[in-house]
């Protein structure tokens, strides 16, 4: 097991949704010596039900597969209970220095929905336009998308985005990120403005 954030989350009571060893990377996912290192992401699922095994998470694997299809090395999904456990995994991911962290769940208005509250203190800069576009795009599918309080922002050189905990919300959110992810990560790495 690696010392990545998924491993830390597992040690703290989280679990990998797919049952594989956290941080276990296939040899073919590693870059050759002359290639730039692969981009790295962490997927975090905020769901007390999924963390305790009383429900099945259907969103984390969608995000993981989306990153993998882009050639990224992905930790997770790391499934943890709502609230502070999400903050702990976010902190570990930031300490690890990944390029992006995408959370799913915990963005609504129920008493346990605390993902924005544990995300906000970790952000150096918010990107409100992205959060607004995530909600706008979601409203095209369901009027309740306006209730999502998810944030998007930058923590050091890491792009952080909170997506809703529904398959539709994740699908709509990834459609927004399709157009932005590479540009934001290039900018954070010091790339030229395009």
Closest CA to 155 of 100, 84, 87: 100
Q: Is the Cα torsion angle 17, 110, 90, 42 positive or negative in sign?
A: positive
Query: What is the reported pLDDT for 135?
Result: 95
Domain architecture of the chain: domains with CATH? 5-19+39-188 (3.40.980.10)
CA gap 179, 122 in Å, rounded:
24
Query: What is the reported pLDDT for 156?
Result: 96
What pTM did the predictor assign?
0.83
Instruction: Report the first-to-last Cα separation within the chain, whole angstroms.
Output: 39
Sheet with strand 125-126: strands edge to edge: 15-16, 73-80, 40-46, 100-104, 158-163, 152-155, 125-126
Distances (CA, A) of 68 to 49, 65, 75: 26, 5, 10
Per-residue pLDDT of the chain (194 residues; tens, 9 = 90+): 344 555 455 445 454 544 443 443 333 444 456 677 899 999 999 999 999 999 999 999 999 999 999 999 999 999 999 999 999 999 999 999 999 999 999 999 999 999 999 999 999 999 999 999 999 999 888 888 999 999 999 999 999 999 999 999 999 999 999 989 999 999 999 876 55
């Amino acid at each position: 097991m690696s010392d990545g954030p998924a491993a830390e989350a597992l040690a703290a009571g989280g679990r990998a949704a797919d049952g594989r060893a956290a941080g276990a990377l296939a040899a073919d996912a590693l870059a050759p010596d002359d290639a730039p290192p692969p981009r790295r992401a962490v997927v975090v699922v905020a769901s007390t039900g999924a963390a305790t095994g009383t429900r099945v998470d259907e969103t984390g694997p969608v995000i993981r597969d989306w990153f993998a299809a882009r050639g990224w090395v992905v930790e997770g999904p790391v499934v943890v209970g709502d609230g502070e456990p999400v903050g702990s995994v976010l902190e570990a991911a930031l300490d690890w220095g990944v390029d992006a962290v995408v959370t799913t769940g915990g963005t609504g208005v129920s008493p346990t929905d605390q993902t924005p509250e544990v995300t906000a203190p970790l952000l150096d800069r918010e990107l409100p336009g992205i959060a607004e576009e995530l909600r706008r795009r979601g409203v095209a599918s369901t009027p309740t998308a306006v209730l999502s309080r998810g944030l998007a922002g930058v923590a050091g050189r890491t792009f952080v985005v909170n997506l809703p905990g529904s398959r539709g919300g994740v699908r709509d959110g990834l459609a927004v990120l399709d157009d932005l992810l590479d540009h934001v990560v290039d900018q954070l790495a010091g790339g030229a403005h395009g």
